[in-house]
Amino acid sequence: MDRIGVVDTMFACIDMGSIAERRLSELEGYGERFEVVRRTVPGFKDLAVAARRLIERDGCAIVVACGMPGGADLDEMCAHEASQGIMMAQVLTGTHILEVFVHMREESDPDKFATLCHNRVADHALNAYRMLYAPEELRKRAGQGIRQGGEDVGPLAV
Ligand code: RDL
Ligand code: RDL
Ligand code: RDL
């Protein structure tokens, strides 16, 4: 059976990994064609190695890496570093690791933040699935200004 990896953090204030797991469990082939392997690490700087291990040791074909940068400038700087680590892990393994970061700065209202987080994680979980099993679904959306979590920007009228 194929494996899709999900890794999230204790630092996040929302259980992002469970949102990803739930979304994946709704998709065709769950439990038959693919299963989900879940890990949790302390914070987003620990995601890159966890994702690499999910790929190299646990045989995951793609990984969804969920993190929540805190609201301070320091956290935003750390987010950039964590992101570079995740990119390095993608290049080293030659395998996609979808980075799902939801920055605490993006939305100050707690309810709206929770909705944004839920939607971004679910959207990237679906993206991971489509990258493996339905790449034509991505192709259909090329150049369409697609976003995860918020409103799509849409294509530029030319
Ligand atoms: O390796 C142990 C920690 O350094 C690591 O878990 C960090 O990712 C923790 N962390 C910070 O140290 C920090 O300054 C996190 C954040 N900010 C953050 O904004 N979000 C995190 N972790 O997930
Ligand atoms: O791995 C999943 C996503 O993290 C990845 O697709 C990012 O490239 C998506 N993305 C951002 O997260 C972002 O903050 C993009 C932009 N900004 C951007 O400006 N342009 C993009 N992607 O193509
Ligand atoms: O224009 C508002 C947002 O789209 C913009 O700020 C994005 O950069 C927000 N964003 C992130 O900050 C991020 O870390 C997005 C992603 N990741 C992402 O994966 N997908 C998005 N936005 O659509």
68 and 28 in contact (C-beta within 8 Å)?
A: no
With a cut of 70, list the residues of the chain below it in pLDDT. none
105 and 137 in contact (C-beta within 8 Å)?
A: no
Q: pLDDT tens digits, residue range 95-127?
A: 999 999 999 999 999 999 999 999 999 999 999
Instruction: Give the residue ranges of DSSP H helices in 45-157.
Output: 47-56, 73-93, 110-133, 135-140
- 69 CB near ligand 1 (under 6 Å): yes
Q: Is 59 left (phi over 0), alpha (psi -120 to 50) or beta?
A: left
How far away, in angstroms, is 86 Cα from ligand 1 center?
A: 14
Q: Which amino acid is at 55?
A: I
- 45 CB near ligand 1 (under 6 Å): yes
pLDDT for residue 151: 95
pLDDT for residue 9: 98
**Residue 122 Cα to chain centre, angstroms:** 8
Q: How many CB atoms lie within 10 A of CB 143?
A: 7
pTM of the model: 0.97
pLDDT for residue 158: 77
- 9 CB near ligand 3 (under 6 Å): no
pLDDT for residue 109: 97
Q: What's 157's DSSP letter?
A: P
pLDDT for residue 157: 84
Question: In a mutational test of the pocket of ligand 3, which residue from 64, 77, 106 has the highest number of ligand atoms less than 8 Å from its CB?
Answer: 106
Interface ipTM > 0.95: yes
